Amino acid sequence: MLKFYFNGSPNPTKVALFLEEAGLPYKPVPVDPRRGAQFSPEFLAVNPNGKVPAIVDDGVTVFDSNAILLYLAEKTGKFLPPPNRKAELYSWMMFVATGIGPFCGQAVHFKHFAPEKVPYAHSRYQYEAQRHFTIVEHRLARHQYVVGEDYTFVDMSLWSWTRMLPFIFGDDVWSKFPNAKRYHDMIAARPAAQRALALKDRFSFAADMDAEARRHMFKHIAA
């Protein structure tokens, strides 16, 4: 059975959504980053980069959320667009992988978790995260999903970050991104999305960003 190494953050959530949508049997393996589980020898043997998600599928190991989505989509033949729109899907997949994810992740870090305020870094990443989601907003004004009318794995990748917009920008964000709100709500209403979000609740993860959590998650400042 496929092993799925995960926690409740955006990147594992997109993979959980695919697994649930596709009805693939899997064994969830929780990895708690606030307790340093991502650096255990057992997990580093799966992903030497020490990050979730990762999967082991009948001896095949795949890490990085977008690589996993592409692997699963090609393996199952599910949630791919028509052949004439594959190039379009690949472009948007890379847009999420190299833009949305990194900039939103850093925007969250400098807004909520940096041990000291760094105004330039905060402004830089908030700007870039907003710029990327403005592109998404314009795209979704013309299309139901990212690749036209087809629900594809790139929507799973984007949705996992779209649902974080209030945490990234503040509670009033949806008034600025009404098409993203429509898109978020449409996917969030899917039973598979509800199961994907509930997966983390079946396990115990550390809730507090205490000294131990900071030591594990922010090793560049660890004593």
The domain spanning residue 29 has which CATH number? 3.40.30.10
Q: Are residues 97 and 167 located together in one domain of the fold?
A: yes
Examine the domain organization and report whether 16 and 98 are in the same domain: no
Q: Are 7 and 200 spatial neighbours (Cβ–Cβ below 8 Å)?
A: yes
Buried b (16+ CB within 10 A) or exposed e, 122-134: beebbebbbebbe
Q: How far apart are CA 107 and CA 54, in angstroms?
A: 24
Residues 91 and 185 in one domain: yes
Q: Are residues 59 and 149 in the same domain?
A: no
Question: What total of structural domains would you count in the chain?
Answer: 2
At 69-82, the pLDDT tens digits run 999 999 999 999 99
pLDDT tens per residue across span 157-196 = 999 999 999 999 999 999 999 999 999 999 999 999 999 9
Q: Are 49 and 105 in a shared domain?
A: no
- Verify that 110 and 199 share a domain, yes or no: no
Which residue matches tokens 């509800």? Answer: 194
Look up the pTM and report it.
0.94
Judgement on whether residues 88 and 184 belong to the same structural domain of the protein: yes
Same domain, 142 and 115: yes
Domain hosting residue 154, numbered range: 83-189
Express each pLDDT in 27-59 by its tens digit: 999 999 889 889 999 999 999 999 999 999 999
Query: Is the domain of 71 the same as that of 146?
Result: no
State mean pLDDT over 98-108.
98
